[in-house]
Each structure stands twice: as C-alpha cells, then as structure tokens.
Amino acid sequence: MTTQLSAPDAAIMQRLVDPRRCGWTEQAAQAVLKLSLSAEDQLRASDLADKANEGSLTAADQAELESYLRVGTLVDLMQSKARLFLRDIQSAA
C-alpha cells in the first residue's frame, strides 16, 4: 500500500505551500493549523485501518484508505509549513 507522496510529489507540494511564495498571513497559518478531518471521516479512516490490520480490505477500501493517508500527508506538510511560518514571524518580532 502506497501511503506516502512520491519524491517528486513531495517536492512539488513543498514549493506549492511555501509561505514566503504564497504570501501567508499569521491568520492563514493559524487556520491551516486548525484543519482536521470531520468526526465521520476520522471514524471511516479508523474503520478502514482496522480492516487493513485484519487483512479484510477490498480493493475499493484500500483505494479509499490510501486517499485518506495521502490527504493526511498533505495536511501534515501544510501544518508543518504553518508552524515554521509562525515561528519565523515570532522570531522576527
């Protein structure tokens, strides 16, 4: 199961969400830190992970789980960039 971005995908995303290039504001960075899955999506992802551990995923379930994992990776990347941005503006103040 592929759960991580490929190296080229990760490099593109790193550039895409670069706060210096995008002109992030403190408010935008704080909003990114608040991004999270809905309770329903969290439950679905957990159910899919349980099925994966049991070895009972269908092909459709596996594709859905991989989508959750990719989205999670993207959100993690964006939140990391947001934390760095906030740290940098606090250091500059």
- At 20 the pLDDT is 76
For residues 73 and 55, give the distance between their C-alpha atoms in angstroms, rounded to a whole number: 23
Sorted by where each begins, the domain ranges of the chain are: 26-92
- At 55 the pLDDT is 96
Summarize pLDDT for 21-68 with one digit per residue, the tens. Answer: 778 899 999 999 999 999 999 999 999 999 999 999 999 999 999 999
Q: Exposed (0-12), middle (13-18) or buried (19+): which is 4, by Cβ within 10 Å?
A: exposed
Q: Exposed (0-12), middle (13-18) or buried (19+): which is 77, by Cβ within 10 Å?
A: middle
- At 38 the pLDDT is 95
Examine the pLDDT at 6 and tell me if it is beyond 60.
yes
Q: Please, what's the largest Cα pairwise distance for the chain?
A: 53
The answer to whether residues 19 and 86 touch, using CB atoms and an 8 Å cutoff, is no
Taking residues 67-89, report their average pLDDT.
92
For residues 29 and 83, give the distance between their C-alpha atoms in angstroms, rounded to a whole number: 7
